[in-house]
A = this chain, B = another copy of it.
Amino acid sequence: MLSDVMEDYLKAIYTLQMEQGPPVSTSDIAEYLGKTPPTVTSMVGKLEDRGLVDREKYKGVELTTEGETVALEVLRHHRLLEAYLTEHLDYSWSEVHDEADALEHHISEEFEKRVAAALGEPEVDPHGDPIPSADLTPPDSSGLSALSECGVGDRLVVARVSDRDPAELEYLSEAGVTPGTTIEVTDIAPFGMVTVRVGDDGREQSLPESVARTIRVRPPDEPSSEEVSPA
């Protein structure tokens, strides 16, 4: 049996691994979770004892296959909940994260199944994040790049936005920068501020580098993917 807290650590390590690749440092985990580094050291030790992470002292940690499976399970819960709350309980895009965080550890396998069925076995959540499949094979996120890495003139489709900061989500929602929307980069300022033309109505919108870094984009058209359709 794994505690809620352990699940949170595994989810955090997974997320950080996705963002920066392994190994993940103690202080990054601490900052991500709002804990102190000694707390993280202690917890990571317990996770190692259970075979959920590999660790090299003073270097960092990496999820084992088993640890990754747990993280994917939690992430599946989280993202199914986000999708369900948005679709069936009238939550807005920016409200769902905290609710899903609170509930993700406490739903049964049965609940997970029924929510997935009610949604029609979706493959992405409202933010565009991929929902791990029921068999918990790692989802493939290749083919995406960060908006902050793109150049002026690039035409792109928004694939994913971060769900961590409600204020940022609110802003992006207003701006029309949502998964499935086509955008074009019109300017990049020296300090990283990216300006984009959004969708068909030609609105221009500037985004600080810190935000652009959290937006994942893919090339437009090319009939390869499926799910997202501009509403």
A residues whose Cβ falls under 8 Å from a Cβ of B: 85, 88-91, 95, 98-99, 102-103, 106-108, 110-111, 114-115, 118
Contacts and interface: CB of A to CB of B under 8 A. Distances in A.
10 contacts: A85-B111, A88-B88, A88-B118, A89-B111, A89-B114, A91-B110, A95-B110, A98-B108, A102-B107, A103-B106
Contacts of A108: 98-99, 102
Contacts of A90: 114
B95 A102 contact: no
A111 B99 contact: yes
Tell me whether chain A's interface is mostly helix, strand or loop, or mixed.
Answer: helix
A89 B102 contact: no
Number of copies: 2
Nearest to A102: B106
Contacts of A98: 108
A79 to B, nearest CB: 17
A161 B90 CA distance: 32
A152 B102 CA distance: 50
A115 B89 CA distance: 7
A169 to B, nearest CB: 16
A50 to B, nearest CB: 23
Contacts of A111: 85, 89, 99
A158 B110 CA distance: 29
Contacts of A88: 88, 118
Contacts of A95: 110
A168 to B, nearest CB: 20
Nearest to A90: B114
